[in-house]
Amino acid sequence: MPVSRQSQAKATKSHPHSQRVAGGAALGSPPSAQKLPELDESMMRRALALAKKGEGRVEPNPMVGCVIVRNGCVIGEGYHRRFGGPHAEIEALGSCTRNPRGATVYVSLEPCCHQGKTPPCTDALIQAGVARVVTPLRDPNPAVNGKGLRQLRAAGIAVTTGVLVHEAAEVLAPFLTRVRLGRPYVIAKWAQSLNGILVPPLGQSKWISGAISRRAVHRLRARMDAILVGVGTVLADDPLLTARDVPLRRRALRVVLDGKLRIPVNANVVASARTRPMLVLTTPQALKTKKAQQLTRKGVELVACKTRSGRLVLGDCMSRLSDRGVTNLLVEGGPMVLHAMLKARLVDEAWAFVAPRLIGGEPQRCCLANVFANTDPRAATVERSGNDLLYRLRLTDLPRAAEARRWK
């Protein structure tokens, strides 16, 4: 996740010839003389940078990268490229320029030991005769969950855990959030004026942020599993909720929160439902209405969620999305939905585009200043986005980082 650590070393594109590894002080010296923790960290950083290349293509699987080192040289590397494809370890083993027997394997998640869409990676590592496996985190998938490392150890392979746990938890946060908490990893995004206004008064341009920021949003949409808005936003803006004019990593499910089915049957998201998936989260009562039938006929899927005092329970809405394999969810508004999600502590990252202008009115409850005041961000970065500033805040703890550190 991009918020607090941006310093990951860039992974090299390929390795046509084996390269001496940059292992800190002992660069170029034989492995026995190298400082192992430094080498381990720099190789894990490389594995994590490789892992990130799968972002938007591998979900609901984790992003995983792998680097194989022998006699101080990188002899192979790879990453999980797409859902259903070979795992990182298999890519790395397949790319080896020398025999990996006796090598050290740096992999950014515990190797799997189960038959999924692909065979167990532990078998491949054992067969290849590698001597050591270094990994930051246990895979919380119940089919693995420590068993992968036990198998490696039982086969005589040395296993080191806990290397760059925090950095790995950041890269793996969406996967860990879904598997551990049973909900998607949530990014809440909005644009606001300097004084915290998200919705300009009627008659003014609906755009608050500039073209560069809007493009950044489309890039974000292009790697999401789902994009969610409240029905108020559909009524006010009639958005399409698609990623446009950017390379598409996946096509997001469009989701509208609408307890009373106020969504117009001729809304853009409904009219396009036959060609682009569209889901309405609503109440069990609303599901029995004529409007529900009309929407279904238009190709909209309706899912009933739990209610409390007549309102949708957001935590349950999130579980429904997670059940459908949604790993990354972008919440785009409006202000009421953003506030409710923030209040329910369901937002992992907040992205606030702040435009250099003032708009009349009272600041909204979800505005940046209130988020700072009410949520105690764990980390915050700011960057320029054209004439706007993009604030990115991490609002939740990284899943499992602490637990994984204790676990050896």
Instruction: Point out which residues bind ligand AOF (CB under 6 A).
Output: 61-62, 64, 80, 87-89, 109, 111-112, 116-118, 121, 139, 141, 144
Please provide residue 236's backbone torsions phi and psi, each rounded to the nearest 5 degrees: -80, -45
Per partner kind, with CB cut-offs from 5 to 8 A, the member of Zn ion, ligand AOF, none near residue 241 is none
Please provide residue 47's backbone torsions phi and psi, each rounded to the nearest 5 degrees: -65, -40
Of 67 and 257, which CB lies nearer to Zn ion in the complex structure? Answer: 67
- What is the closest distance, in whole angstroms, from the C-beta atom of residue 77 to ligand AOF in the complex? 12
Residues 188 and 49: their CA atoms lie apart, in Å, by 24
Cis, peptide link before residue 334, omega less than 30° from 0: yes
Respond yes or no: is residue 41 known to be catalytic.
no
Per partner kind, with CB cut-offs from 5 to 8 A, the member of ligand AOF, Zn ion, none near residue 21 is none
Cα 373 to its chain centre, rounded Å, is: 25
Residues 322 and 174: their CA atoms lie apart, in Å, by 11
Q: Is the dihedral of CA 219, 231, 198, 360 positive or negative?
A: positive
- What is the closest distance, in whole angstroms, from the C-beta atom of residue 90 to ligand AOF in the complex? 8
Of 142 and 203, which CB lies nearer to ligand AOF in the complex structure? Answer: 142
- What is the closest distance, in whole angstroms, from the C-beta atom of residue 81 to ligand AOF in the complex? 9
Work out the burial of residue 309: count CB atoms within 10 Å of its CB; fewer than 13 is exposed, 13-18 middle, 19 or more buried. Answer: exposed
Of 79 and 190, which CB lies nearer to ligand AOF in the complex structure? Answer: 79
Of 89 and 348, which CB lies nearer to ligand AOF in the complex structure? Answer: 89
Cis, peptide link before residue 60, omega less than 30° from 0: yes
Per partner kind, with CB cut-offs from 5 to 8 A, the member of Zn ion, ligand AOF, none near residue 64 is ligand AOF
Tokens of 132: 């050591």
Per partner kind, with CB cut-offs from 5 to 8 A, the member of Zn ion, ligand AOF, none near residue 62 is ligand AOF
For residue 70, give Cα distances in angstroms to 41, 134, 205, 291: 16, 13, 60, 64
For residue 128, give Cα distances in angstroms to 112, 115, 204, 236: 15, 18, 65, 59
The identity of residue 109, as a single letter, is L
Q: Which residues bind Zn ion (CB under 5 A)?
A: 87, 112, 121
- What is the closest distance, in whole angstroms, from the C-beta atom of residue 111 to Zn ion in the complex? 6
Active-site residue (options: 41, 77, 89, 170): 89
Per partner kind, with CB cut-offs from 5 to 8 A, the member of Zn ion, ligand AOF, none near residue 146 is none
Of 121 and 346, which CB lies nearer to Zn ion in the complex structure? Answer: 121
- What is the closest distance, in whole angstroms, from the C-beta atom of residue 141 to Zn ion in the complex? 10
Of 113 and 359, which CB lies nearer to Zn ion in the complex structure? Answer: 113
- What is the closest distance, in whole angstroms, from the C-beta atom of residue 116 to Zn ion in the complex? 7
Residues 6+ apart with CB under 8 A from 335: 190, 198, 199, 364, 365, 366
Per partner kind, with CB cut-offs from 5 to 8 A, the member of ligand AOF, Zn ion, none near residue 352 is none
Active site residues: 89
